[in-house]
Amino acid sequence: MKFSYYPGCTAHSTGWEFNASTEGVFAALGYDLDEIPDWNCCGGASAHNLDHFVGLGLPARNLAIAQDAGRDLIVPCAGCYNNVKKAQVVLERGGGDADRLARVLAFEWRGAVDVLSLVDWLERPGVLDAVRERVKRPLTGLKVVAYYGCQLVRPPRVTGRPSWENPTTLEAACEAVGATALDWSFKTDCCGADLAFGHGDRAEVLCSRLAGSARRAGADAIVVSCGLCHANLEMRQGGLGVPVVYITELLGEALQVPGRDKWWEKHIIDPSGLFR
Amino acid sequence: MNAFARQIQERSGQNLSRCYQCKKCSGGCPTARWFEWPNHSVVRMIQRGLKDELLGSRAIWMCITCETCGARCPNGIYLSPIMDALRALAVEEGRPAAEPAVLAFHKAFVASAKRFGRVHEATMLAAFMLKSRLFLQSGFLGEAAGGLKLLARGKIPFRPSSVKGKAQIDRIFAESDLKL
Amino acid sequence: MNRIGVFLCWCGSNIAGTVDVHRVIEEVRKLPEVAHAENYMYMCSDPGQDLVKAAIRDKNLTNLVVASCSPRMHENTFRKAAASVGLNPYLVEIANVREQCSWVHQQQKDVATRKAYNIIKATIEKVKRNAALEAIRVPVTKRALVVGAGIAGITAALDLADAGFETVVVEREAEIGGKLRRISRTFPYHEPADAILAPRAEALRDHPNVTLYTSSEVTAVGGYVGNFDVEVATDPGDGGPPETRTEKVGAIVVSTGYDLYPVENLGEYGGGRLPDVIDGLAFEGLLADSFRNGEPVRRPSDGRPVRDVVFIQCSGSRDPENHKPYCSRICCLYTNKQARLLRDRNPGCRAWVSFMDVRTDCKNTEEYCQQNIEERGIVYVRGRVSRVWQEGDRLRLWTADTLTGEKIELDADLVVLATAVVPAAGYAEVSSLLRAGVDANGFFQESHIKLRPVESSTRGVYLAGAGQYPKDITDTVAQAQATASKIQSLFANEELAQDPLVCRVDPDLCSACGICVPICPYGAREVDALAGFSRVNEALCEGCGACVAACPNKACQLKNDSMVQVVGEIEVFAAEEGEEDYTCAC
């Protein structure tokens, strides 16, 4: 089965290991990821703050490209996912903004492709079964908490999630590879996002609370599915030393995807000890 | 309804009249502690037409669009699009930002996206540091140390790359009046 | 040859201020078959009605058109007036020249005058083909059936049984008493709920006029007002098939009650996930344990006596976006009572109430609430709690005080959610079996919110209790007694008169195709295979016309609303070409 793939700007920089592990896990499960050609920045957490149309136009261009590619689009980074999904909702609803997008980008939205986060993808029928079947090294004894943050689940009008306060998909994925997913109350609290730039101290207030509660819940690591959440949680957790791993890294370890050492090297808090 | 409230309502697509001031938004906001007035007050202030206060506030730059308030609002009012509308209006009118570093970051980020089609973190962060004059502040070493850590792990490439469909990116920006 | 009388009412200035009533009457007098036409300031007044009666007598009128307000207002008035002087009431028609004319054309007097004339002319076209009809008469079975034996059903059943009518009570639980069984003490006098319920339940069980079926459900309903056949299935309790029986009754009470909105739906409060986040009825259970054992109130997770309890009102209520839009009415008062009883049971404990407004709409409850706040130290904080989470063995909350603007972080060892009151599970099945409509939230719909509050949309089916809308015990009992009285009025008749404006079938035109059967919302149509045509059960037919529209052979016609009559009315308007669009405020 094939998907289109939108790696996002951090794929080749701060989110290098997220991209590498995503590609590795998809390949190990027999899914093809086709990077859509000539994709552009989704606008990040910035464009919508400054201009409504730019905030929609940037992600919409990627949708136009994905539509031509003709396959559902996997967007692993939570922030990118939210921007692209919002543009999809605007296009599907129709009206002034949709018309303007169609005119400026000279394309017609036919609604033929869907936008999927990794959480959405994990919920597709058969995906977790495929994971279970291919586990080479179960992560038995590893205790984790799953962290969704904001952009994967909210706003529900955009993500279409029935349970945005207590999603459980990442936990199910962790359990599928033998790890123990602990219950905690902070899975959808905010990490501070771009607050880190310019107000690192304030981001630290939020992230240290998250990391502290994860530790108190008894977790060995926090599992995330967003580059910005990852960077914030690693760098702003106030020296607690709680490793933060991407869900794809966790799956990749259990599936024994090659090249994992390179992933661990990119971390500020080395997670490789979790898997020894 | 006053002209300012009407303008914000139109731009954000949110019906402010539905607010009954229960304060569930402020109760759950992760960053309200850095606002001058909490979320529900922002809604009230728009209803009252307090434009200058809001467009010059820290609150609009301390909202990080986490949508916690909107998702829990019993009346379905999303504050993020409202804050987006306030921020965009403040930028449009050239108002000085009460949180200059935050605005500087957003401008540096979007400028990078505009220039290359994709964001190039090294040049973007450098532009941000210069613009925000963060390097003059005491915390800069800590900030820079974070950046250096990432550089050391080979996470920030030095060379920017550009998308081919730049003409389309330019058209998107040409459609707006955004000045960076 | 008809001798038609036309009576145009001014309705003070409501009609006459816009419509030139004198010109209209002048023109109407010129129409064929009009034997009499006049106008008057208030035709519905006694002198007005006397004018109508005198004209019928003196001019031997055969059909009447009264041009006035909506037929909903005074159709009955003028039909009775006509009948009192010997004219068949179904030969009287109302021409609505107020709601459908003068009120909506106030700025266009000429248009209104012409339109009023046309409405009257069209009504004349109709009335001259009206038939003299007789009311349909059906017998009344003077037995009642009550669905649901909470305090509402018990009360209605006892009142009916005491009045001498046999009453069948169907309860799906093994025990009667409903939600009252789970309540510890009631507001505002702290009377134990059992003291209210037990004697009433016992009276019901022992009453010679009551047949009680517990562990039972209604599975089929046939018939109509005065003559229902209700199938009741009883679970024998031994795993065997249900025993079914059919009860013949004349009236049915729907007292199916309420459930609480599931705490699981309130994810931000950890509902269903955190053991010490519970709903109001669960807290009643903790209070009941405390009273029974003479011990303090203990929390579910570890049985520790509670010291800090936060009550969150409007949990799922007044939340149109994510949950229920309405106010659940009873939570303000029971929460206040629970906080008060908690302070009595666990001296020194802290009781916080998170609220948006405190609504005390029952007798003596404002004083009760105030007193508890003033004298019992319950802390009320205005603001919705945003979230609840677990830290160690304590719960923590984020909320805010809208009155000071502060954001507040609280900790507690128990959180009680005053969750929304919703219709009891199974309401949809009951609604469809009894053809009793429900509103957008699933509450049974009363026939008129002010004037017919205990009648459902189906004649002979009545409402009582929280299945109609959330209400406290006081209001529930009052409504149940009103329902019982209403049924007693019904049972005071030996037979029921019913409007004869129903469908009739021309057996020569009917091909027995059966299209009319599923289209009838009242179950009034049935194909008689032997006779070879489709019959109308006149007692069930409401004259809605669905079958008339659906019938491919035009074999169905509404009495006094036949095809010829309707086309005749339309032709009057069609003859008026080039008119502006008419609007209507009916």
Q: What are phi and psi of C425, to 5 degrees?
A: -50, 140
Cα distance between residue C19 and residue C102, in whole Å: 6
In total, the C-beta contacts within 8 angstroms joining chain B to chain C are 69
What Å distances lie between residue A40 and A63, B114, B168, C61, CA to CA?
A: 10, 10, 10, 86
Cα distance between residue C549 and residue B54, in whole Å: 60
pLDDT at C559: 96
* Share above pLDDT 70 across residues of chain B, in percent, rounded to a whole number: 84
| Residues in chain A within 8 Å Cβ distance of C268 | 165
- Tell me whether the omega of the peptide bond preceding residue A155 falls within 30 degrees of 0, making it cis: yes
Please indicate, yes or no, whether residues C282 and C295 belong to a single structural domain of this protein: yes
pLDDT at C586: 43
Residue corresponding to tokens 């940037």: A58
Please indicate, yes or no, whether residues C19 and C66 belong to a single structural domain of this protein: yes
By C-alpha distance, the chain C residue nearest B39 is C405
- Beta pairing, strands C258-260 & C421-423: antiparallel
Please indicate, yes or no, whether residues B88 and B104 belong to a single structural domain of this protein: no
Please indicate, yes or no, whether residues B86 and B12 belong to a single structural domain of this protein: yes
pLDDT at C317: 97
| Inside any domain, residue C577 | no
Taking CB atoms and an 8 Å limit, are B66 and A154 in contact across chains? yes
Range of the domain at B55: 3-92
Range of the domain at C303: 263-416
Q: Which domains does chain A have, with CATH numbers?
A: 2-118 (1.20.1050.140), 138-263 (3.40.50)
Taking CB atoms and an 8 Å limit, are A198 and B104 in contact across chains? yes
**Cross-chain CB nearest to C270 (options A163, A185, A216):** A185
Residue C226: closest CA among C134, C138, C135, C153: C138
Which segments of chain C have a pLDDT < 50?
A: 578, 583-586
Please indicate, yes or no, whether residues B15 and B48 belong to a single structural domain of this protein: yes
Chains in contact with chain A (at least 3 beta-carbon pairs closer than 8 A): B, C
Taking CB atoms and an 8 Å limit, are A185 and C389 in contact across chains? yes
**Cross-chain CB nearest to A165 (options C268, C390, C392):** C268
What Å distances lie between residue C572 and C63, C227, C566, C576, CA to CA?
A: 19, 43, 10, 7
Taking CB atoms and an 8 Å limit, are B113 and A44 in contact across chains? yes
| Residues in chain C within 8 Å Cβ distance of B29 | 386, 407
**Interface test with chain C among A145, A161, A164, A165, by most C beta carbons within 10 Å:** A165
pLDDT at B135: 53
Please indicate, yes or no, whether residues C334 and C392 belong to a single structural domain of this protein: yes
* Share above pLDDT 70 across residues of chain A, in percent, rounded to a whole number: 100
pLDDT at C404: 81
pLDDT at B157: 64
Taking CB atoms and an 8 Å limit, are B20 and C356 in contact across chains? yes
- Tell me whether the omega of the peptide bond preceding residue C521 falls within 30 degrees of 0, making it cis: no
pLDDT at B139: 53
Instruction: Output the average pLDDT for chain B.
Output: 87
Cα distance between residue C522 and residue C541, in whole Å: 6
pLDDT in tens, C194-221: 999 999 999 999 999 999 999 999 999 9
Give the DSSP letter string of C236-289.
-SSSSPPEEEEEEESEEEE---EEEPPGGG-GGGTTTTSTTEEEHHHHHHHHHH
For chain A, how far is it from start to end, CA to CA, in angstroms? 33
**Cross-chain CB nearest to A44 (options B88, B107, B109):** B109
Taking CB atoms and an 8 Å limit, are C267 and A186 in contact across chains? no
Cα distance between residue A66 and residue A5, in whole Å: 9
Residue C5: closest CA among C86, C60, C61: C61
Please indicate, yes or no, whether residues C411 and C267 belong to a single structural domain of this protein: yes
Q: What are phi and psi of B147, to 5 degrees?
A: -60, -40
pLDDT at C584: 46
Taking CB atoms and an 8 Å limit, are A61 and B172 in contact across chains? yes
Q: Return the CATH number at C434.
A: 3.50.50.60
Domain count, chain B: 2
CA distance C298 to chain B (A): 28
| Inside any domain, residue B49 | yes
Cα distance between residue C115 and residue C112, in whole Å: 5
Find the chain A residues whose C-beta atoms sit closer than 8 A to any C-beta of C: 163-166, 183, 185-186, 213, 216
Cα distance between residue A9 and residue B124, in whole Å: 12
In this structure, chain B runs to a length of: 180
Please indicate, yes or no, whether residues C252 and C366 belong to a single structural domain of this protein: no
Residue A137: closest CA among A259, A255, A44, A27: A255
Cα distance between residue C586 and residue C583, in whole Å: 9
Please indicate, yes or no, whether residues B132 and B68 belong to a single structural domain of this protein: no
| Residues in chain C within 8 Å Cβ distance of A213 | 391
CA distance A157 to chain C (A): 11
Return the axis-axis angle of helices A247-255 and A16-29, rounded to nearest 10°: 50
- Residue B132 clears pLDDT 90, i.e. is over it: no
* ipTM for the whole complex: 0.93
| Residues in chain B within 8 Å Cβ distance of A100 | 175
Please indicate, yes or no, whether residues C228 and C113 belong to a single structural domain of this protein: no
Cα distance between residue C291 and residue C311, in whole Å: 20
Please indicate, yes or no, whether residues C352 and C402 belong to a single structural domain of this protein: yes
Please indicate, yes or no, whether residues C384 and C529 belong to a single structural domain of this protein: no
Taking CB atoms and an 8 Å limit, are C321 and B23 in contact across chains? no
Chains in contact with chain B (at least 3 beta-carbon pairs closer than 8 A): A, C
- Beta pairing, strands C34-40 & C533-536: unpaired
Cα distance between residue B131 and residue A156, in whole Å: 36
Please indicate, yes or no, whether residues C277 and C197 belong to a single structural domain of this protein: no
pLDDT at A276: 82
By C-alpha distance, the chain B residue nearest C388 is B28
Domain boundary among B92, B124, B151: B92
By C-alpha distance, the chain C residue nearest A166 is C267
**Cross-chain CB nearest to C402 (options B21, B72, B75):** B21
By C-alpha distance, the chain B residue nearest A201 is B139
By C-alpha distance, the chain B residue nearest C318 is B74
Q: Which long-range contacts (CB under 8 A, 24 or more apart) does A205-209 make?
A: A206/A232, A206/A236, A206/B30, A206/B31, A207/A232, A207/A233, A207/A236, A207/A237, A207/A238, A208/A236, A208/A237, A208/A238, A208/A240
Which segments of chain A have a pLDDT < 70?
A: none
